[in-house]
Amino acid sequence: MLRFRIRLSCLLTGALAVCAALHAESPAPQDAPKQNGSTSSASPAPRYASVEQATRLMQQGKNDEALQLLEGIAAAEPSRRGIVREIGIAYYRKSDFLKAAASFKKALEEDPSDNEATQLMGLSYYLAGRPAEAIGPLEKAQTWYPSANVDASYILGICYIQTKDYANARKAFAKMFGVPADSAASYLFTARMLLRQDYDPVAEEYAKKAAELDAKLPRVHLLLGELYLYKSRLPEAVEEFQKELQLNPGDATVYYRLADAYTRLQKYEEAEKLLQRSIWLDATSTGPYILMGKVLEKKGETALAVRALQRALAMDPNNPIPHHLLGQAYRELGRTEDAERELKLSEQLQVQKDAKP
């Protein structure tokens, strides 16, 4: 069954990159030593070394040690500006997002014009599971960056979805992709995001709206077909995939998805023909080879199924699914030892996959 829930790993990478850039560009303390060795205040030099040391510790991933140093400075000098901002960055880097948000909020009391802290506060609220509180800061970030940071724009759109503000979600995604907010493309992009967030009824509504606005827009019917396939509404899925093929006959994915629908309907001959076309158009995807293995095995062509599954494994050796199917095929061929090896390896790989966050 298809999974549409997007993971946050890519978003975290981008957001942490924002954090790293922010930290690298942080202004020097206002009372930093001058080149002639004097200072602009009575604060002694070792204090600056502590902040620099905290920065180095964060760069090394030693965020707890950095926090200890920074909180020590904050306790010794409660009025010192900029330290609470650094504390927020340290909490952000160690994924303690609620404390990070609280620190950035205090930093903004010191300096309301700190745009980066505002954006990071919004990201922190989102990552802490508080989308409603993330929206305000992230909206402000959009006004500062005309070509907005893609991660921040995406997260803002997701926050709108999670608070059921679908109209503003569409505007956010339209801005992210550079299309008019009321265009068919904006409805299509939003439908895709809604589907990934498991907002299936609204995703269907938005995809249909996209098709209504532009009947020839590529991938609208593909999206509807995928939604119906996910819901096991197979006749509707087939109809949508066939419509997509009429508009977009060079898309390998459409042949693959339609073959999946036919396989579930036990129309194996039709499915095999479509899978072959998908592979002709794109021989780099493992999905059609895996499905081809299933189809050929159902047709009783087990030896050919083995070849298709071996091809899939040559491309993706750590995928547990083709190992499992190959084990079943070997068992049908009487190759017991090979079957047990593949089935055991499939189970091990699945355990490893499930253990990953």
pLDDT in tens, 248-269: 999 999 999 999 999 999 999 9
Q: Nearest CA to 53 among 67, 43, 37?
A: 67
Terminal-residue alpha carbon distance, the chain? 20
- Is the separation of the CB atoms in 314 and 306 below 8 Å? no
Q: Percent of the chain, pLDDT > 90?
A: 72
pLDDT tier for residue 106 given thresholds of 50, 70 and 90? very high
| Three-class secondary structure of residue 164 per DSSP | coil
What span, in angstroms and rounded, lies between the C-alpha atoms of 294 and 302?
9
Fold designation for 11-24+47-130: 1.25.40
In the predicted model, what is the mean pLDDT of the chain? 87
At 149 the pLDDT is 61
What span, in angstroms and rounded, lies between the C-alpha atoms of 333 and 215?
49
What span, in angstroms and rounded, lies between the C-alpha atoms of 45 and 341?
65
Q: Nearest CA to 54 among 17, 78, 36, 29?
A: 29
What span, in angstroms and rounded, lies between the C-alpha atoms of 195 and 197?
5
Give the tokens for residue 164. Answer: 């059921």
Domain chopping of the chain, boundaries = 11-24+47-130
Does pTM top 0.85 for this prediction? Answer: no
For range 22-32, the mean pLDDT = 41
Query: 202-238: per-residue pLDDT in tens?
Result: 999 999 999 999 999 999 999 999 999 999 999 999 9
CA distances from 71 to 19, 51, 66, 116 (A): 19, 10, 9, 21
